[in-house]
Amino acid sequence: MEKVVLANDHGAVDLAAAIRKHLESRGFEVCHLGVFTEESVDYPDMAQKAVEEFRRGGYAFGVLCCGTGIGISVAANKMKGIRCALPQNIFAARMCREHNDANFIAFGGRIDYPEPPLAMLDAYIDASFQGGRHARRVEKMMALEGR
């Protein structure tokens, strides 16, 4: 069974629960690190927890959620080896895997998406990295780390 790590702040409790349920219905084992209530937490802490768990190995990808998806994705992208995408719609969700080889995907619990976020997640899951010229660009992107 493929594993996914999931973490969220208080701005996305309901969305994260829906994502967890959806992932489980698709046959993934989900390591959900919380949070589970609307008591305020800091999104960088949740991003850090998720990335540290991801680095333990065996995860297909990670999902991060906060109010907008912005803070938690920016925080995750500060950590080495992470490419966390924050797609706007189904097309971008597919492309972030095909072109950017995103290993995390983020969503905003307070965002009114033009398409259902669970359909965006499906597009990401069902896509594959295309390699080729995109591999060169991903390598260049990762070479920017720490500069």
Active site residues: 66, 99
30 binds ligand RB5 (CB under 6 A): no
State yes or no: residue 41 binds ligand RB5 (CB under 6 A): no
In the list 16, 35, 43, 84, the residue contacting ligand RB5 (rule: CB under 6 A) is: 43
Structure tokens, 17: 């629960």
Residue 62 or 67: which CB sits closer to ligand RB5?
67
Nearest to 35 by CA among 26, 23, 45, 21: 45
Pattern of binders to ligand RB5 over 8-27, x per CB under 6 A? Answer: -x-x----------------
The answer to whether 30 and 20 are in contact (CB under 8 A) is yes
Residue closer to ligand RB5 by CB (options 38, 52) is 38
Task: Report which of 19, 75, 17 is spatially closest to residue 47, judged by C-alpha positions.
Answer: 75
What angle (nearest 5°) sits at the alpha carbon of residue 49, between those of residues 84 and 136?
25
- List residues binding ligand RB5 (CB under 6 A): 9, 11, 43, 66-68, 70-71
